[in-house]
């Protein structure tokens, strides 16, 4: 199928070899079927190596996230390099990887690694419950501040040049025009709260105005897909649970298709329907009741 290379540890300070910070997946060789080569995929992290290395839940979750990207590259069955693996829209790049994160606290998976380093005892259920509950602290605030920033991002990039000039012409300064526009947009979408401002204001929203260009929403949309898919496999699928049937299903319809068809078609082929936001809200400890 291909070669998977794992480079999980920081470079020693005295090694003379540098390494970028953070965690990422790279595709050294693609898995396109228009030639005879096999995929070569690497996952990188920056874990401090020690005689005894303990991993936080964040490290484990990140490792699974990057593994999701790795599988996306390895499982590709697309014919052409431009359509294979992770050459898909931003939200569908992050969906297969974000989907993997919740397995870090799934009981069946957890039993394989979350053990006391001396006694070998598994993590107690009540302690695990407290860890999961603590991870949901303040997510109502974080969800709204992120969504507000994403909405502003999309609205700016939906404007015509004429409409943009019209907005600026109504106010003596661009700063006042921007502030009015932001307030108007958030009010329109029911996302305005003086207590929960957007994570980023337009004037310093580098994600929106430079490299991402109206794609900031993609992260939360990928989480909608991931949460819905995880809930489907673990709770709603006809043969629910961690089994080969469900693994093959998401591999066939999501991980292997690349950009050979509309991503929503791929998701529906796997799930049987479009996603809703219910699973995301539950994942974040929020209510799914409609107001």
Q: Write down the pLDDT at residue 182.
A: 93
Distance (Å, whole) CA 257 – CA 72: 9
Q: How many CB atoms lie within 10 A of CB 39?
A: 21
Read off the pLDDT of residues 199-216 as tens digits, 9 standing for 90 and up: 888 887 766 666 556 677
Give the residue among 32, 78, 85 at the shortest CA–CA distance from 260: 78
Q: CB of 254 within 8 A of CB of 95? A: yes
Q: Which of 131-140, 182-191, 257-266 has the lowest mean pLDDT?
A: 131-140
Mean pLDDT of the chain: 89
Q: Write down the pLDDT at residue 139.
A: 92
Among residues 27, 66, 84, 223, the one annotated as catalytic is 66
Burial 167-206 (b: 16+ CB within 10 A, else e): beeeeeeeeebbeebbeebbeeeebbeeebebbbebeebe
Confidence of residue 233 (pLDDT cuts 50, 70, 90): very high
Average pLDDT over residues 217-240: 93
Read off the pLDDT of residues 120-172 as tens digits, 9 standing for 90 and up: 898 888 988 898 888 889 999 999 998 998 898 889 888 899 999 999 999 99
Q: Write down the pLDDT at residue 16.
A: 75
Distances (CA, A) of 57 to 54, 63, 159: 10, 10, 42
Read off the pLDDT of residues 56-110 as tens digits, 9 standing for 90 and up: 888 999 999 999 999 999 999 888 888 888 989 888 999 999 999 999 989 889 8
Sign of the Cα pseudo-torsion (41, 242, 97, 232, in order): positive
- Is 142 annotated in the active site? no
Q: CB of 71 within 8 A of CB of 255? A: yes
Whole-number CA gyration radius for the chain: 22
Task: Please give the share of the chain, as a percent, with pLDDT higher than 90.
Answer: 54
């Amino acid at each position: 199928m291909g070669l998977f290379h794992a480079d999980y540890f920081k470079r020693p300070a005295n090694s003379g070899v540098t390494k970028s910070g953070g965690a990422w997946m790279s595709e050294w060789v693609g898995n396109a079927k228009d030639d005879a080569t096999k995929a070569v995929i690497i996952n990188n992290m920056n874990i401090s190596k020690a005689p005894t290395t303990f991993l936080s839940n964040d490290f484990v979750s990140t490792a699974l996230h990057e593994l999701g990207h790795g599988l996306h590259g390895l499982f590709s069955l697309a014919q052409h390099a431009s359509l294979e693996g992770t050459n898909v829209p931003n939200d569908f790049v992050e969906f297969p990887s974000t989907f993997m994160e919740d397995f870090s606290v799934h009981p069946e998976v957890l039993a394989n690694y979350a053990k006391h380093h001396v006694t070998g005892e598994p993590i107690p259920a009540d302690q695990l419950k407290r860890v999961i509950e603590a991870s949901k602290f303040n997510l109502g605030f974080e969800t709204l501040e992120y969504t507000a920033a994403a909405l502003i991002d999309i609205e700016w990039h939906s404007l015509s040049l004429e409409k943009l000039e019209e907005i600026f012409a109504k106010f003596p300064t661009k700063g006042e025009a921007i502030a009015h526009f932001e307030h108007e947009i958030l009010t329109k979408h029911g996302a305005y709260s003086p207590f929960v401002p957007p994570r980023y204001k337009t004037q310093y929203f580098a994600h929106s105005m430079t490299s991402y260009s109206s794609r900031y929403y993609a992260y939360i949309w990928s989480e909608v897909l991931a949460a819905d898919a995880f809930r489907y496999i673990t709770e709603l699928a006809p043969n629910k649970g961690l089994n080969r049937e469900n693994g093959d299903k998401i591999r066939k319809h999501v991980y292997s298709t690349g950009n050979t068809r509309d991503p929503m078609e791929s998701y529906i082929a796997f799930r049987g329907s479009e996603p809703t936001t219910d699973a995301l809200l539950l994942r974040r400890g929020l209510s799914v009741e409609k107001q």
